[in-house]
Amino acid sequence: MERLFDSEAKVMEILWDHGPLPAKEVSRIAAESIGWNKNTTYTVIKKLEAKGILRRDEPGFLCTPIISRDAARKTEANTLLRKVFGGSRKALFSALLEDEQLSDDEIDELRRLIDGR
């Protein structure tokens, strides 16, 4: 999957949160939540469609996400891992946990995730 720019991620968050929506409704939500005008939202929708990340269908230019939020998160995490941490998961986790106080439940959950690999 191609990486999402911040503006594209905002439109996808709207669709992931609300499900398939007409472009007009995506634009309305973006105007209320982000302050975008209609042209900005439609431009971003067209870019997402060109990337194959969403599909627009008639009637009403119904916008449907093609990729899941989880798939986008994995792509973003892998990009961060490669670009900032040279592919080192240990360096990434060390940076994330360095200044963070974790609860016992959070530590247990992290251990379960690691043990499950």
Structure-token pair, residue 111: 């251990």
**Do 11 and 58 have their domain in common?**
yes
- State the Cα–Cα distance between residues 60 and 13, nearest whole angstrom: 20
**Do 36 and 20 have their domain in common?**
yes
**Do 73 and 32 have their domain in common?**
yes
Q: What pLDDT score does 94 carry?
A: 87
**Do 92 and 74 have their domain in common?**
no
**Do 9 and 20 have their domain in common?**
yes
Question: Chain-wide mean pLDDT for the chain?
Answer: 93
Residue indicated by tokens 């360096």: 91
Query: What's this model's pTM, rounded to 2 decimal places?
Result: 0.80
**Do 66 and 108 have their domain in common?**
no
**Number of domains observed in the structure of the chain:** 2
C-alpha closest to that of 12 among 30, 24, 28: 30
Q: Which domain holds residue 98?
A: 88-117
C-alpha closest to that of 66 among 115, 6, 20: 20
Q: Using 50, 70 and 90 to split pLDDT, how confident is the model at 115?
A: very high
* SS3 state at 52: coil
**Do 10 and 49 have their domain in common?**
yes
- State the Cα–Cα distance between residues 85 and 83, nearest whole angstrom: 6
C-alpha closest to that of 10 among 58, 78, 63, 36: 36
CATH number of the domain that residue 3 is part of: 1.10.10.10
Asked whether residue 1 carries a pLDDT value surpassing 80, the answer given is: no
**Do 39 and 80 have their domain in common?**
yes
**Do 81 and 93 have their domain in common?**
no
**Do 94 and 73 have their domain in common?**
no
Q: At what angle do helices 23-33 and 6-18 cross, to 10 degrees?
A: 110
**Do 98 and 63 have their domain in common?**
no
What would the pLDDT profile of 59-113 be if each residue is shown by its tens digit? 889 999 999 999 999 999 999 999 999 999 889 888 888 877 888 898 899 899 8
Percent of the chain with pLDDT over 70: 100
